[in-house]
Amino acid sequence: MANRETMLLPLDDPQSDAKAGNGARSDFRDLAFSSNRGEPVHRWVPWIAGYSRQFVASAIDMHMDGPGAVLDPFAGVGTTLVEADRKGHESVGFEINPYAAFAARTKLAAHLVDTERLRDAIDAFERFAEDAERRGREPRATPPAGFSTRAAFYSPDVQWKVLTAHDFIAELSDYLVADFFRLAFASTMVTYSNYSYEPSLGRKATAGRPDVDDYPVFAELAEKLTEMAADADFWKKNRSNRQERRSKIYGVSFFEFYKEVEQGSVDLLITSPPYLNNYHYNRNTRPHLYWLGFCNSPKDFKKLEQRNFGTYWQTARDMDPVSLDPAIANAEINSLIYDLRAVNPEKRIYGGQGWANYAALYFNDCLRFAEGMKWCLRSGATALIVIGNSILQGIPVPTDRFLAEIAERAGMEAVDIHTPRDARVGNSIVNSSVRVGKANGSRLYESVVELRRP
């Protein structure tokens, strides 16, 4: 069996934060998801977006005095949910991307998997793979029929190994062990493909890197699964209040189903919605969605795009001019939309017109998001939203401040905008020169918008 030496520090050990290069836990300086790469369970899935588990842990410590409910309306691969569950809270999330929801759900089951059976399955897999290679066994599994790329996603030798691994997974009787195998494959599958993230998914050859003619796929999967088994054992020992709690993730849109959450039942909301940067989260997980069987045709992707926060520029550009929801009633945002439409009008939808539609839909969804927050949060509860600003057609967009002002229109109270990477922590959005600076600047930054339910 693959063997990997792994140092696991206690998750609440201050030394673990210091070794990760984190600052004081109260000022939100540690946001980067990349720091999760060394954290048990959180490290199972690489993710282009999101934030660190240390950020979630510090937010919970600051805003919750005892066990309660934590909500993430845009859960991604579950950083908020998993960390809240570990610290003894009920966690509830929404995520429209089926692969991300699957990853979060599997991580939330870390304390439930039978690790002895998992390790037995890893041993059996290695024997199965060795026998298949010796015999030149023909796989029964086939590549997903609806999945196509401009160049071969896998080279022939690599694809044979991938399909052989899928044959083994298909025979597993323990559904949770099988999910661990599926997630191990999904989290490593791009590594041995002819594609990579630069940061969007594209051919390695285009980025000046060679195709992967062959790769030790079986060893890679066994190593990943061994790490996951060790993390599951660690999780069981370190999870607070080890009795079973109700933690769930809905694979649906928060906008459409937030009333599934009991009104006024949430004690803390921590999330990071899609930024106003047109990053296509669904398109960049196409391989995972197809190979795990969550998508079968382009129609499935169309449905995901239509449900996404603010949709995508590629969708918005073809629409008739989109107006802001009258309830937003913000002259500055209206002016931004007007200014965007005036940029490169000769390009029509490929100029400012398309981007104005994209921005208007985004801020309309900010209003829907705020209305959902108000429904879910109890009186006095806090919402922390990690969000970055934008520059559209050369025009700076202070997305963080606009979100806070829209939330106030929906009945939330705007408390603060923390800007961790600029060290402007604690600047009030009510009386602050930062408002002007952010609106007129051209730099990109990331903020934590702090809201409260009155």
pLDDT tens, 133-184? 999 999 999 999 989 999 999 999 999 999 999 999 999 999 999 999 999 9
* 6 has pLDDT over 70: no
32 assigned to some structural domain: yes
Helix (H) or strand (E) holding 397: strand 395-397
Single out the residue in 251, 273, 299 at which a domain terminates: 251
The CA angle 254-49-69, to the nearest 5 degrees, is 45
Same domain, 206 and 128: yes
Instruction: Measure the CA–CA gap between 417 and 149, rounded to whole angstroms.
Output: 42
CB 363 within 8 A of CB 336: no
3 assigned to some structural domain: no
Same domain, 212 and 246: no
261 assigned to some structural domain: no
Instruction: Measure the CA–CA gap between 136 and 124, rounded to whole angstroms.
Output: 18
Same domain, 247 and 207: no
Same domain, 387 and 409: yes
CB 310 within 8 A of CB 397: no
Instruction: Measure the CA–CA gap between 193 and 207, rounded to whole angstroms.
Output: 14
CB 78 within 8 A of CB 250: no
CB 425 within 8 A of CB 447: no
- The percent of the chain in helix, strand and coil, each rounded to the nearest 5, is 45, 15, 40
134 assigned to some structural domain: yes
* 24 has pLDDT over 60: no
Lowest mean pLDDT among 18-32, 98-112, 153-167, 185-199: 18-32
pTM > 0.75? yes
Same domain, 17 and 94: yes
289 assigned to some structural domain: no
Same domain, 216 and 244: no
More confident residue, 212 or 284: 212
Contacts of 68 (CB under 8 A, 6+ apart): 89, 90, 267, 268
Instruction: Measure the CA–CA gap between 154 and 169, rounded to whole angstroms.
Output: 19
Single out the residue in 238, 271, 295 at which a domain terminates: 238
374 assigned to some structural domain: yes
Same domain, 335 and 375: yes
Range of the domain at 79: 10-98+240-251
* 433 has pLDDT over 60: no
DSSP sequence for 302-344:
HHHHHHSTT--HHHHTTSSPPPPPTTT--HHHHHHHHHHHTSS
284 assigned to some structural domain: no
pLDDT in tens, 282-325: 888 999 999 999 998 888 877 777 778 888 888 889 999 999 99
Mean pLDDT across the chain, nearest whole number? 87
pLDDT in tens, 56-110: 999 999 999 989 999 999 999 999 999 999 999 999 999 999 999 999 999 999 9
Instruction: Measure the CA–CA gap between 65 and 89, rounded to whole angstroms.
Output: 11
pLDDT in tens, 396-419: 999 999 999 999 999 999 999 998
Same domain, 232 and 92: no
Same domain, 77 and 156: no
Same domain, 453 and 317: yes
Contacts of 28 (CB under 8 A, 6+ apart): 55, 58, 59, 418, 420, 425, 448
pLDDT in tens, 218-273: 999 999 999 999 999 999 998 876 556 678 999 999 999 999 999 999 999 999 99
110 assigned to some structural domain: no
Same domain, 327 and 207: no
Domain count, the chain: 3
Same domain, 216 and 323: no
Taking the alpha carbons at both ends of the chain, their separation in whole angstroms is 56
Single out the residue in 192, 216, 238 at which a domain terminates: 238
